Chains A and B, each alone.
Chain A
Amino acid sequence: MELSGPRWKGKNFAQIANSNPMSEIIAQLQVCLSNSESAALPIGTDFLLETVPELTKLLNRTSFGRQLTTSYDSKQYFQLSPEETFYLHHFLKCLKVSIDNAKLIDVNDFWNFMRSRSELFPIYYRAYVHLRSKNWIVKLGTKNGVDYVVYRHHPALVHSEYAVIVDRENDKGEKEGERMRVWSDLHCAVRACNGVAKAVLLLNVMGYEVNFNLPELLERTIVDERQITRWVPSQCRDDCKLEGNKGEHH
């Protein structure tokens, strides 16, 4: 399918987005988080962060985590995914993390901690960094049967344009991930996503080796972006006259 550009949810929403660049709101979040004493704690496979209204507002505006509804007024609670937590801690250098009652200072310890919980964490984190560092909003894509969905600005203002699937290959260009292995994987992804006006974006993390440390992950891997598009010849664009020669077709 051909996407004709972002689908804004309201009449002036594009202007609102233009007047509020995401990078600036994220900068405000960085300042606020850095000044906060609150530390993220592991809960299950995610992380819990206790917040106050100012921080709550900024986390919501930058679409990090899910706010847990509670009856408390003075404090709020956010559940952050591993990628979100690590990104705020490592890339944006503003989130404190506490594991086993010890406030971790060494980002490499935290990196090893994350890796011990999930073998694929480096791949997903690499993809997450790739998208967030371009100031796209990244949310989980479970509803659409993909890894992530990305938004050009806040989800309240705009529909997501891409449904992201993360795959990987080694430095010899050999596919190592398990995604899009068989044809039904492609048919399924495209069908599911086109039905909700999203293009399928395949992010291929290239050159990854299992023994990479954190700097190597970011410096020695490349993220390849390819769209998976279905072409339906009978729905060719207007400039493609399908009547053909007279007498040739029925």
Chain B
Amino acid sequence: MDGEEVSKVEGETRRRRKGKGKERGENPARNRQQNNFLPSSSLSGCQIRTEVSKARWVEEIGMAQVIEKNGSLWATTGVIRNGNLYCHIEEIGYLAQIGALVLLDDGENVMGLKDIFTKCADRRYGCTWEFFEAYRDLKSLGFIVGRHGQPWSLKHDNLKPNSNFTVDTDFIADRIEELQIGAANLIFDIYKPNSKFKKTDPGAPSFIICLVGDWPPIRKEVEYLEEKCKLVPLKFCHVNHGDVRFFSFPEVSLPVLP
């Protein structure tokens, strides 16, 4: 259980012990869960949303263009290219999973979660399933998550609005080379929750996430990656069958005692 679920259960236990409130009525979802031996979900409590956005998948660039923007979440989600808003497949996956986004194909057909999740795992779009799980974990906790090194906002004054975004396709191609199985990859720039976040001027990230593969990184790798991150703190992420954990390996210097 994650932190939110733990506090929910604790709160409920407290209420039950005090004998207050209608226990059955207070948390019908959890009661249903317990009665039917249902597992806890990967996202606690997906509410029905009234603010649903729409985006259209653009295969040539491996992203979706947002065509109907609803809700304030877009202040910290999606990238701006030449005045238009686009989102990466991991953002689509997360928003679709929580019901905040409907994804259309190049026609008017709605793409289901199965297709969206499959695209997340596809690797052609700069994402892997583990990458998506890490994204979802951090995003659902309120962090602002961007692909490492990718600008939040770009203007191409000499490009027509519908032309190919070579910048992004190049970047996706780079990303495919980088995301080797088992290797360590710098994947996210993370900003702490901030209502004043501006895509045109995000500032330096609070930390950078490195997704690590099957083996823990060795000292040499840690030092190499730290140098690449310059002064931004680095955290290592390991995803194991949906379980997302983060570690850091700060250098310390035990003081000489008197």
Contact = CB atoms under 8 A, between A and B. Distances in A.
Interface of A: 18, 21-23, 131, 134-136, 150, 152-153, 162, 169, 173-175, 180-183, 185-187, 190, 201-202, 204, 206, 224-236, 239-250
A226 B238 CA distance: 18
A143 to B, nearest CB: 21
A203 to B, nearest CB: 9
Contact of A246 (B72, B216, B222): B72
Interface string B45-72: 1110001000000000000000000011
25 contacts: A21-B258, A134-B257, A135-B256, A136-B257, A169-B220, A180-B216, A181-B215, A187-B245, A201-B252, A224-B219, A224-B251, A225-B251, A225-B252, A226-B249, A230-B245, A230-B247, A231-B247, A234-B2, A239-B192, A241-B193, A243-B193, A245-B72, A245-B73, A249-B140, A250-B46
B75 A245 contact: yes
A169 B218 contact: yes
Contacts of B218: 169, 173, 175
Given A173-B220, A186-B216, A234-B4, A248 B71 contact: yes
Q: Which of A131, A201, A236 has the most CB of B within 10 A?
A: A236
A137 to B, nearest CB: 9
Contact of B76 (A135, A229, A248): A248
A229 B235 CA distance: 10
A240 B222 CA distance: 25
Given A134-B256, A229-B250, A245-B76, A234 B141 contact: yes
Given A224-B219, A226-B219, A232-B3, A249 B142 contact: yes
A175 B219 contact: yes
A226 B142 contact: no
A23 B258 contact: yes
B109 interface: no
Contacts of B247: 186, 190, 228-231
A231 B71 contact: no
Q: Which of A162, A169, A233, A240 has the most CB of B within 10 A?
A: A233
B35 interface: no
Contact of B195 (A150, A162, A190, A245): A245
Interface in B138-182: 138, 140-143
Contacts of A201: 252, 254
A150 to B, nearest CB: 8
Given A135-B256, A175-B218, A242-B141, A247 B250 contact: no
Given A175-B219, A249-B140, A231 B257 contact: no
B33 interface: no
Given A136-B254, A225-B252, A240-B192, A233 B137 contact: yes
Given A182-B216, A183-B240, A226 B250 contact: yes
A70 to B, nearest CB: 32
B253 interface: yes
In the A-B complex, the 9 residue pairs with the closest CB atoms: A234-B3, A244-B142, A21-B258, A135-B257, A231-B246, A248-B73, A173-B220, A134-B256, A175-B218
A182 B142 CA distance: 30
A24 to B, nearest CB: 8
A205 B2 CA distance: 37
A242 B142 contact: yes
A175 B219 CA distance: 8
Contacts of B245: 187, 230
B192 A225 contact: no
Contacts of A186: 216, 247
A223 B258 CA distance: 21
Contact of A226 (B98, B235, B252): B252
A243 B216 contact: no
Contact of A173 (B98, B219, B249, B254): B219
Contacts of A243: 142, 193
Contacts of B140: 249
B248 interface: yes
A240 B246 contact: no
A5 to B, nearest CB: 11
Nearest to B246: A231
B117 to A, nearest CB: 20
Contacts of A242: 141-142, 193
Nearest to A206: B219
Nearest to A240: B192
B255 interface: yes
A245 to B, nearest CB: 5
A18 B258 CA distance: 8
